[in-house]
Amino acid sequence: MTSLKKLLLGEQGLVVIFALAFLVVSLTVPNFLTERNMLGLLQSVVTIGIVACTMMFCLASRDFDLSVGSTVAFSGMVAVMASNATGSILLGLVAALICGGLVGTVNGVVIARFRINALITTLATMQIVRGLALIASDGRAVGINDPSFYQLALSRFLGIPTPIWVMALFFVAFGFLLNRTVFGKNTLAIGGNPEASRLAGVDVARMRIWIFALQGLVCAVAGVLLASRITSGQPNAATGLELSVISACVLGGVSLAGGRAAMTGVIVGVLIMGIAENVMNLLNIQAFYQYVVRGLILLMAVLLDNLRSSAAGRRA
């Protein structure tokens, strides 16, 4: 019984649970395993998956970012408006990256240098950035003038939509950054014990600023792809994204207390979130019930995190 509990609470246990759930869904839900549905499922989790790559670093360093949804929407708006104004998609992309990076950097500076709680800081920027998106667009969707902008989301490589390739590339890149670089090791060290990390020579404040700056840049990429997929800049896009991303990360084994993270777990967490929503759509379950299921998944993720932390404490 103890061995089974250790397995289920470990990273391998999450993979086993995911595999069993995938098997059950494949056998019981009509049309789930079709190529069209699989590609649609992966497309639906692109935004969550991309943003989860850097949210993993925020959580692993004992922080979190509630402004990611607003940053995604704002960056998408900026990309569309800048490309419309200049006639250049490239300038639109650069403008979006600058705005996303700026939002992330501001978050990092306020949290690390002014030592204001991450919850309050990112809650404030969530409102500010969403407000800026609404003001800039006068509360309306902004249409895309250049049809080539659509190709960012509609183009395919080897039969697979480009955004899925982008998400896969981010998974590989940030997995490498976490496991194989000093930056990743310092992130986990800060999350495990910030004071010990500082005494060991790690510039904790600078690391936190870089993590949030990366979060903003990644949100900008997600925002551009989302705007391309929904064919406009939407000031109300990505509402509630932050909760889905945090749920996926925590479900994937990233500790809310910091110091523990694994990219493979985050990938599984993202897929679990996607499958849950996809199955409900295939079964024609009303959207109202989907909110309940998302809330239950978030609650389950936090409970699992508590169990993992308790198990780790007993081993220590």
CB contact at 8 A, 232 and 80: yes
pLDDT in tens, the chain (316 residues): 455 455 555 556 677 878 888 999 999 998 899 999 999 999 999 999 999 999 999 999 999 999 999 999 999 999 999 999 999 999 999 999 999 999 999 999 999 999 999 999 999 999 999 999 999 999 999 999 999 999 999 999 999 999 999 999 999 999 999 999 999 999 999 999 999 999 999 999 999 999 999 999 999 999 999 999 999 999 999 999 999 999 999 888 898 889 999 999 999 999 999 999 999 989 888 888 888 988 888 888 788 777 777 766 665 5
Query: What are the contacts of 205-209 at 24+ separation with CB within 8 A?
Result: 205/112, 205/113, 206/112, 207/61, 207/183, 208/61, 208/63, 208/108, 208/111, 208/112, 209/105, 209/108, 209/109, 209/112, 209/113
∠ CA 216-217-219, nearest 5°, is 65
Distance CA 68, CA 50 (A): 11
CB contact at 8 A, 60 and 185: no
Distances (CA, A) of 314 to 24, 32, 132, 182, 307: 34, 41, 47, 29, 11
CB contact at 8 A, 233 and 226: no
Domain boundaries, the chain: 35-302
- Which residues are 157's β-sheet partners? 160
Distance CA 70, CA 132 (A): 9
Q: What's the CATH code, domain 35-302?
A: 1.10.3470
List of residues 6+ apart from 50 with CB closer than 8 A? 166, 167, 170, 218, 221, 222, 225
List of residues 6+ apart from 27 with CB closer than 8 A? none
CB contact at 8 A, 188 and 172: no
pLDDT tens for each residue of 39-66: 999 999 999 999 999 999 999 999 999 9
pLDDT tens for each residue of 164-192: 999 999 999 999 999 999 999 999 999 99
CB contact at 8 A, 305 and 250: yes
Report strand pairing: 142-143 vs 156-157. unpaired
Assigned token pair, 172: 């590989």
Assigned token pair, 243: 């909760």
